[in-house]
Amino acid sequence: MSRRPTMHDVARIAGVSAKTVSRVVNNETPVDPLTRARVQQAIAELGFRRNEQARSLRPGQTSALIGLVTGDLGNPFYSAIARGIEDVAHRRGHLLLTTSSDERPDRERQLIDALLQHNIEGLIIVPTLGQHDYLSPAFLRGLPVVAVDRPVHTHPPLDTVLLDNRHGAALAVTSLLQAGHTRVAVIDGESAVFTGAERIAGYHDAHRQQKVTPDATLLRQGFHGETQAETAMTDLLDLPAPPTAVFATNNRIAIGALNGMHRRKHWIPLAVFDDFDLAGMLPTPVTVVAYDAVEMGRQAAELLFARLDGLSADPQVRTLPVTVHQRGPGNLAVN
Amino acid sequence: MSRRPTMHDVARIAGVSAKTVSRVVNNETPVDPLTRARVQQAIAELGFRRNEQARSLRPGQTSALIGLVTGDLGNPFYSAIARGIEDVAHRRGHLLLTTSSDERPDRERQLIDALLQHNIEGLIIVPTLGQHDYLSPAFLRGLPVVAVDRPVHTHPPLDTVLLDNRHGAALAVTSLLQAGHTRVAVIDGESAVFTGAERIAGYHDAHRQQKVTPDATLLRQGFHGETQAETAMTDLLDLPAPPTAVFATNNRIAIGALNGMHRRKHWIPLAVFDDFDLAGMLPTPVTVVAYDAVEMGRQAAELLFARLDGLSADPQVRTLPVTVHQRGPGNLAVN
DNA sequence: ATGAAAGCGCTAACAG
DNA sequence: CTGTTAGCGCTTTCAT
């Protein structure tokens, strides 16, 4: 198997110097049209492809590589973000290196290190819980970084793309309160997670605004995954005074809560931050907070490229809108 | 902002030559333990990180980069595959470049080209429909390639990881036939897609084996997305002699079919190739064919690394098992 | 309009 | 055990 052809190989075939090949490949001027044609002919003949690693080694050149760290690419929320980033990156002639931290800060740090060794031009990160001192200027050496979904506290602050968690949650819970519910339970995941905390704040905002006092015993936090959420739901339904509606702070929790209702054959209206298939087919009304995760990725990538282009001055925080929809049977009222 | 430190910078601080730094960084012998310590000290002081692009420029060195092309990273099926690949790649010290073809052959080709320019060591691809002459040895120059989910016909053939589509579909449809159904409809997507064709073959296998003659008018193909599948379902239910059960060849089609049943308030048992949330909570029994997409990715990556390690001889086709589960109300029988 | 030389950061081969 | 030299493929600078 023959060695991959270089510019020198092309140059030899075309009877020109490597520099002229370089000019043709990069559409630089001046090159005589006939020379250009000869070179292009030779390129086609050999199947030459420029070596990006060699190119980007030169000072002043860039790698055309963007790095992404999320908790788990297998999670559709994260992969939608990745897709949005990829869209913009592709349009800008960049490729995306994707990695998954498993939500572990040590692995996150290691991945960022690996990405830096590959000379990424910029980094987009859905930060794990924990300290991010390795997002400091000293560690990053001026690498532009954009945070998505969760803020990260650094000096100076980073460009950030968030959802309107608090407002979306408030809207969804308000729809329950306005239907007459006064005992709305909450099932949340890991209590230290930013998005969950914001959504719970929104729950409280709604109560305050609707002048309903929430019952603290109905607020359940720290549940990982569907199975735990299911138990939380059955526990709530087994209370002497069970809730008449429930707010799930995310998708997975909602699925667990629904499994719990199904198990107890006791259905109460559900509000949930996240949309999901078949929400409209359930035996109880579902109020969903929907958003565009792909768009989050796009916006993050656009912030990143703006900074690479030197267009950004101060770090920006963009908060993306969410929408609320009623799914399933129309009547939200208390049974 | 100071320039990123190089091995020479480290060498100067540690009072050694660049080659010695290289030896330390690569854990090569022999290096005097004291020298090694001095160098490590200097590395820490400067925050030195080896430049992977420069390293991999040397002949005999590799880029530690793997490329992936799927139809759409935002699709959870593909992103699960990506996650599986990433797992193995990370364990092997490799990073993954992910790209989405939008199922367009021209874009697929362009992405492969871009990946090759970045000197990927191997490529994993969920191939689009269409000719793949650009997966020929001439184009790839010996680059190892693994196909996932769909085979691709090249000479020589590629390593391939598939699901047991035909058998899984047969099992699911058999459960309907054994419950007494004789009019089982099929809703399928793009008819040229390999997986759909295999699953329909499984549908016919089941009928043959159960000695039931399928009604060709109940076989509907070429539907894109949920909305079209929903229409296909309502059309079927509106027939003078509607089906008593339906087989959906994938997830999205199943959601559409369920929406159709919901709209007509006419529920019939569903079999579907793919598992999904809330399948157990619907008003009709659901038979799902489940599988592990992350594992598909892992196996693909393992085939790739086996080839990079020079361990593989002939191209392999691995067919991964699927499992069938009953969800929802227990009774599959004809209404 | 084109080419020669130098060097990006790293490591293989060879000296010492 | 350590250092020197050379060169991977490309592009910048400066000649021609």
CB-nearest to B74 from A53, A83, A278 is: A83
Q: Is the CB of A61 under 7 A from strand D?
A: yes
Q: What is the CATH number of the domain that holds A217?
A: 3.40.50.2300
- For residue B220, give the nearest of B209, B207, B230 by alpha carbon: B230
Per-residue H/E/C for B123-162: EEECCCCCCCHHHCHHHHCCCCEEEECCCCCCCCCCEEEE
Q: Are residues B155 and B182 in the same domain?
A: no
Among all protein residues, pick the one whose CA is nearest to the C1' atom of D5.
B19
Domain boundaries, position A232: 165-291
How far apart CA B105 and CA B71 sit, in angstroms, is: 10
What does the alpha-carbon distance between residue A220 and residue B195 come to, in Å, rounded to a whole number? 43
Distance CA B230, CA A46 (A): 51
Q: Give mean pLDDT, residues B155-173.
A: 96
What token pair was written down for B205? 């296998």
Q: Give chain B residues 24-53 with Cβ within 7 A of strand D.
A: 29-32, 34-36
Dihedral angle sign, alpha carbons of residues A90, A91, A93, A97: negative
For chain B, positions 101-120, list CB contacts with chain A under 8 A.
113-119
Asked if residue B333 belongs to a domain, the reply is no
Query: In angstroms, how far is C3 C1' from B333 CA?
Result: 83
CA of A147 to C1' of C2 (A): 47
Claim to verify: residue A287 and residue A298 sit in the same structural domain: no
Instruction: Give yes or no: residues A92 and A181 share one domain.
Output: no
Q: How far is A213 from chain B (nearest CA, A)?
A: 32
> Per-residue pLDDT averaged across A242-264, rounded?
97
Asked whether residue B328 is domain-assigned, the answer is no
Smallest Cα distance from A99 to chain B, Å: 7
pLDDT at A328 (0 to 100): 80
Residues B20 and B122 placed together within one structural domain of the fold:
no
Residue numbers in A near B66 (CB within 8 A) = none
What CATH number does residue A21 fall under?
A: 1.10.260.40
DSSP state of B266: -
Nucleotides on chain C within 7 angstroms of protein Cβ: 1-5, 7-13
Residues B73 and B93 placed together within one structural domain of the fold? yes
Interface with chain A: mutation pick from B104, B278, B291, highest number of A CBs within 10 Å: B278
**pLDDT, tens digit (0-9, with 9 covering 90-100), for A179-215:** 999 999 999 999 889 999 999 999 999 999 999 999 9
Say if B335 falls within a structural domain: no
Residues A304 and A286 in one domain: no
Give the whole-angstrom CA distance, residue A152 versus residue A322. Answer: 21
Quickly count: other Cβ atoms within 10 Å of residue B246's Cβ: 31
Mean pLDDT, range A116-137, rounded to an integer: 91
Please state the rounded mean pLDDT for residues A150-160.
92
Cα B30 to Cα A147: distance, rounded to the nearest angstrom: 43
Residue B250 to residue B272: CA distance in whole angstroms? 6
The pair of structure tokens assigned to A268 is: 């109460």
- Position of tokens 């579907």? B272
The pair of three-digit structure tokens given for residue B127, joined into one six-digit string:
């191939």
**B32 part of a folded domain:** yes
Q: What angle do CA B67, A129, A188 make, to 5 degrees?
A: 105
pLDDT at B1: 53
Which among A50, A51, A72 has the least Cβ separation from residue B83?
Answer: A72
Name the phi and psi angles at A30, rounded to 5: -95, 140
pLDDT per position as a tens digit, B232-244: 999 999 999 999 9
Q: What H or E segment, with its residue span, contains residue B22?
A: helix B18-25
Cβ contact A4–B83 (<8 Å): no
**How distant is C1' of D15 from CA of A57, in Å?**
25
Contact A233, A259 (CB under 8 A): yes
pLDDT at residue B130 in the model: 83
Is there a contact between B99 and B85 (Cβ–Cβ < 8 Å)? no
> In which band, very low, low, confident or very high, does the pLDDT at B333 lie, cut at 50, 70 and 90?
confident
Is any atom of nucleic acid chain D found less than 7 Å from the CB of residue A22?
yes
Identify all chain A residues contacting B277, using CB atoms and an 8 Å cutoff: 255, 276-278
**CA–CA dist B268, B252 (Å, integer):** 17
Going across the sheet that includes B65-70, the strands are A317-320, A159-163, A145-148, A122-125, A65-70, A95-100, B95-100, B65-70, B122-125, B145-148, B159-163, B317-320
Closest residue in chain A to residue B71, using alpha carbons only: A83
Q: For residue A266, name the pLDDT band (cuts at 50, 70, 90).
A: very high
Contact residues, A window 185-244, toward B, CB-based 8 Å cutoff: none
- HEC secondary structure over chain A: CCCCCCHHHHHHHHCCCHHHHHHHHCCCCCCCHHHHHHHHHHHHHHCCCCCHHHHHHCCCCCCCEEEEEECCCCCHHHHHHHHHHHHHHHHCCCEEEEEECCCCHHHHHHHHHHHHHCCCCEEEECCCCCCCHHHCHHHHCCCCEEEECCCCCCCCCCEEEEECHHHHHHHHHHHHHHCCCCCEEEECCCCCCHHHHHHHHHHHHHHHHHCCCCCHHHEECCCCHHHHHHHHHHHHHCCCCCCCEEEECCHHHHHHHHHHHHHHCCCCCEEEECCCCCHHHCCCCEEEEECCHHHHHHHHHHHHHHHHCCCCCCCCEEEECCEEEEECCCCCCCC
Residues A223, A256: contact at Cβ < 8 Å? yes
What CA–CA distance (Å, rounded) separates A210 from A200? Answer: 15
Number of domains present in the structure of chain A: 3
Are B148 and B160 a contacting pair, CB within 8 Å?
A: yes
Task: Give the residue with greater pLDDT, B319 vs A130.
Answer: B319
Considering only CB atoms, A255 lies closest to which of B64, B99, B277, namely B277
**How many interchain CB pairs under 8 A, A with B?**
154
Query: Is A119's CB within 8 Å of B53's CB?
Result: yes
B-chain residues near A113 (CB < 8 A): 49
In whole angstroms, give the CA distance from residue B47 to residue B3: 12
Q: Per the domain annotation, does B10 fall within a domain?
A: yes
Residues A95 and A21 in one domain: no
pTM: 0.95
* Residue pair B101/B74 in contact by the 8 Å Cβ criterion: no
Judged against a pLDDT cut of 90, whether residue B132 lies above it is answered with no
Query: Looking at beta carbons, which pairs linking B289-292 to residues 24 or more positions away fall under 8 Å?
Result: B289/B168, B289/B169, B289/B171, B289/B172, B289/B322, B289/B323, B289/B324, B290/B322, B290/B323, B290/B324, B290/B325, B291/B163, B291/B168, B291/B320, B291/B321, B291/B322, B291/B323, B292/B320
Please tell me whether residues A3 and A98 are part of one structural domain. no
Whether the pLDDT of residue A133 is over 90: the answer is no
B321 residue type, one letter: P
Work out the pLDDT band at A1, boundaries 50, 70, 90. low
**Pair (B287, B200) in one structural domain:** yes
Residue B266, domain member (yes or no): yes
- The pLDDT assigned to B238 comes to 97
Six token digits for residue B162: 């598939």
Q: With a cut of 90, say whether residue A156 has pLDDT above it.
A: no
Asked if residue B113 and residue B92 are part of one domain, the reply reads yes
Q: Which of B46, B73, B119 is the best substitution to test chain A (most A C-beta atoms within 10 A)? A: B73
Q: What residues does B318 pair with on adjacent strands?
A: B161
> Which nucleotide comes closest to B30 if you measure CA to C1'?
D1
> By C-alpha distance, which of B118, B43, B94, B8 is closest to A62?
B118
Q: Based on the domain organization, do B270 and B196 belong to the same domain?
A: yes
Question: Using one digit for the tens of pLDDT, what is the confidence trace for B91-111?
Answer: 999 999 999 999 999 999 999
Q: Any CB–CB contact under 8 A between A280 and chain B?
A: yes
- Assess if residue B332 is contained within a domain: no
B326 within domain boundaries: no
pLDDT at B142 exceeding the cut of 90? no
Chain B hits for A117, CB-CB cut-off 8 Å, are 49-52
Q: How far is B117 from chain A (nearest CA, A)?
A: 5
Q: Who has greater pLDDT, B191 or B334?
A: B191
CB-based contact, A51 to chain B, within 8 Å: yes
Q: Which of residues 254-273 of B touch A (CB under 8 A)?
A: 255, 258-259, 262
Q: Is A80 close to B65, i.e. CB distance below 8 A?
A: no
The tokens of A142 are what?
A: 């001026």
Average pLDDT of A238-254? 97
Among the partner-chain residues A115, A119, A282, the one whose CB lies closest to the CB of B51 is A119
When mean pLDDT is compared across A134-143, A251-260, B120-129, the lowest value belongs to: A134-143
Strand D close to B17 by CB, under 7 A: yes
pLDDT of residue A75: 97
Structure-token match 């650009």, residue found: B134
Instruction: Give SS3 for B318.
Output: strand
Question: What is the SS3 assignment for B17?
Answer: coil
B130 CA to chain A: closest CA distance, Å? 22
Q: Does A70 touch chain B (CB under 8 A)?
A: no
CA dist., res. A236 & res. A242, Å (int) = 6
Partners of residue B258 in chain A, C-beta under 8 Å: 278, 281
Within this chain, do residues A26 and A112 fall inside the same structural domain, yes or no? no
Rounded to the nearest integer, the mean pLDDT of chain A is 94
